[in-house]
């Protein structure tokens, strides 16, 4: 079973606690294991990061991630935030997002596909066709 149901949300992030960064968070039922966080650069270009929805869920309650994406709930200037640390060969950034806003995004994704039911929405045959027909 696949679906094209999608949820997107704009969340303002802070870089280094001071510079606002627009972000666009997306979730699609036909890609049920991942979320996409896109961040707007100075040149109006969007840079996308794709990571596991389970990593996002874990990162909302405790430090999570060992690779290029690390998440941690923190308190910044007296308010609860989700610290998102992203790293690539091109650079490194730590962004802070309102914890409640990211929790709301995750809750919206679970209305589309409940946690633990991702495999019911994942089209493995479609993936195999895509990989073998390259």
Per domain, the residue ranges of the chain are 6-132
How far apart (Å, rounded) are the C-alpha atoms in residues 49 and 25?
10
**Higher pLDDT, residue 8 or 102:** 102
How far apart (Å, rounded) are the C-alpha atoms in residues 42 and 30?
31
Produce one character per residue of 34-60: b if its CB has 16 or more CB atoms within 10 Å, e if not: bbbbbbbeeeeeeeeeebbbebbbebb
Q: Would the pTM count as exceeding 0.85?
A: no
CATH fold label, 6-132: Transcriptional Co-activator pc4; Chain A (2.30.31)
Q: Residue 73: left (phi > 0), alpha (psi -120 to 50), or beta?
A: beta
Q: pLDDT tens across 11-26, in order?
A: 666 655 567 888 889 9
């Amino acid at each position: 079973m696949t679906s094209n149901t999608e949820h997107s949300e704009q969340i303002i992030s802070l870089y280094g606690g001071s510079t606002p960064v627009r972000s666009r968070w997306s979730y699609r039922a036909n890609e049920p294991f991942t979320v996409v966080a896109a961040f707007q650069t100075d040149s109006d270009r969007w840079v996308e990061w794709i990571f596991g929805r389970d990593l996002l869920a874990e990162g909302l309650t405790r430090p999570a991630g060992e690779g290029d994406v690390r998440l941690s709930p923190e308190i910044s200037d007296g308010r609860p935030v989700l610290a998102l640390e992203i790293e690539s060969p091109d650079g490194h950034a730590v962004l802070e997002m309102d914890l409640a806003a990211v929790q709301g995004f995750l809750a919206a994704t679970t209305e589309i596909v409940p946690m633990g039911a991702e495999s019911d929405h994942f089209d493995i045959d479609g993936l195999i066709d895509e990989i073998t027909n390259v």
